[in-house]
């Protein structure tokens, strides 16, 4: 399936549609209708943001400033009826700034915990690579354990807690590169590119006609019905996986570990992520069973940030996506 149609389910007669995917189908239809009134283009990025929420994982959005990364996440939060908080990462950001802190109340002579912005459903961390290592480590616990530990007390985060972190691929001055351990916690790395000329013209026309409140407020996105998101997630988890597809996923992951141009291949966690994301893509295609094309479609966003190129590969002009495509081409596709 082409990238341009990444949110579109495959066409077919009503009898060909999986009867158990009604919630996923309705969610996609409403996403296209509602988000399309705010965001022009970026169908692939929007689709992968929905994948992260349905697969209960976190996503790293990479792209230059001004291409709607923040708007995509905020709009998705409005659509899904989820809470949203935004943190602007800076070199002096402390763990308490995102986790929260204990405050003494003189009138009551007691300490109370003031929750930080992580206590939300969708957390957008802008320019995460400007966050100092100590704060990155605090965020890592939230992402992996879905809890905050403060003063020895564990406080669970909301059930839909999802981190969307952005980073600028061009400006590295004053940044702290994310360690491999933290990169591996991101289910997806979403690349958000420039819109086409026609899409950018449509953006200008929309902004010319919008009010001072902005497109998002003007659009008045209608949230999905209560319970729809939960039912869609259950449908995704129920997507069938035949034994041959397990072997195929494992072979793709293991082949990266021995690929001559890679210094670091995919971890076992990456193979699990590949399975989870492929299930969502299968559901997006109105199928309740997995096929090899779902795995291929999931491979780049799931693995591109988890592999490490050798220096000679970078000097020769290779990037992670190009190498991963070669890996996929080298792995035999299961038949039947």
- The domain containing residue 267 runs over which residues? 240-331
**The tokens 């929309």 sit on which residue?**
206
Determine the average pLDDT of the residues in 203-223.
77
Q: What's 65's domain CATH number?
A: 3.40.50.300
Average pLDDT over residues 231-258: 96
Domain match, 225 and 84 both: yes
Same domain, 221 and 261: no
Is 224 within the bounds of a domain? yes
Region label for 114, one of left (φ > 0), alpha (ψ between -120 and 50) or beta (otherwise): beta
CA distance 270 to 139: 20
Give the pTM: 0.88
Residue 336 in domain: no
Residues 67 and 209 both lie in one domain: yes
Q: pLDDT value at position 17?
A: 61
The reply to whether 62 and 174 lie within a common domain is yes
Indicate if 210 and 252 belong to the same structural domain.
no
**pLDDT surpasses 50 at 8:** no
Rounded Cα distance, 304 and 61, in Å: 12
Residues 206 and 289 in one domain: no
* Contact yes or no for 192/62 (Cβ under 8 A): yes
| Apex 94 CA angle, 92 and 95, nearest 5 | 155
Same domain, 46 and 183: yes
The domain tally of the chain equals 2
Does 239 have pLDDT greater than 70? yes
Q: Are residues 218 and 251 in the same domain?
A: no
- Of 184, 211, 238, the residue that ends a domain is 238
Would you place residue 48 in the very low, low, confident or very high pLDDT band (cuts 50, 70, 90)?
very high
Banded model confidence at residue 87, pLDDT cuts 50, 70, 90: very high
Task: State percent of the chain over pLDDT 90.
Answer: 62
Residues 18-51, buried b or exposed e (16+ Cβ, 10 A)?
beebebbbebbebbeebbebbbbbbbbbbbbbbb
């Amino acid at each position: 399936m082409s990238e341009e149609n990444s949110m579109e389910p495959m066409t077919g007669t009503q009898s060909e549609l999986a009867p158990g995917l009604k919630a996923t189908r309705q969610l996609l239809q409403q996403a296209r209708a509602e988000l399309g009134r705010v965001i022009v283009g970026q169908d692939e990025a929007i689709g992968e943001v929905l994948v992260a929420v349905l697969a209960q994982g976190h996503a790293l959005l990479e792209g230059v400033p001004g291409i709607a990364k923040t708007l995509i996440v905020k709009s998705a939060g409005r659509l899904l009826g989820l809470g949203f908080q935004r943190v602007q990462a800076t070199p002096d950001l402390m763990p308490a700034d995102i986790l929260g802190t204990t405050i003494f109340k003189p009138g009551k002579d007691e300490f109370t915990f003031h929750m930080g912005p992580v206590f939300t459903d969708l957390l957008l961390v802008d320019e995460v690579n400007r966050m100092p290592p100590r704060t990155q480590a605090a965020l890592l616990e939230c992402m992996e354990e879905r809890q905050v530990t403060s003063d020895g007390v564990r406080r669970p985060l909301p059930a839909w807690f999802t981190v969307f972190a952005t980073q600028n691929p061009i400006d590295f001055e004053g940044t702290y590169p994310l360690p491999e351990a933290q990169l591996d916690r991101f289910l997806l790395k979403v690349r958000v590119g420039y819109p086409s000329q026609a899409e950018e013209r449509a953006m200008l026309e929309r902004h010319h006609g919008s009010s001072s409140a902005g497109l998002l407020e003007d659009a008045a996105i209608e949230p999905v019905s209560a319970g729809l998101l939960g039912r869609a997630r259950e449908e995704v988890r129920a997507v069938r996986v035949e034994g041959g597809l397990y072997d195929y996923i494992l072979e793709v992951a293991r082949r990266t570990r021995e690929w001559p141009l890679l210094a670091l291949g995919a971890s076992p966690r990456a193979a699990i992520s590949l399975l989870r994301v492929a299930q969502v893509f299968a559901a997006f295609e109105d199928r309740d069973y997995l096929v090899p094309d779902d795995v291929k479609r999931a491979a780049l966003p799931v693995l591109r940030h988890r592999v490490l190129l050798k220096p000679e590969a970078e000097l020769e002009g290779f990037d992670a996506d190009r190498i991963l495509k070669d890996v996929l081409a080298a792995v035999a596709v299961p038949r039947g």
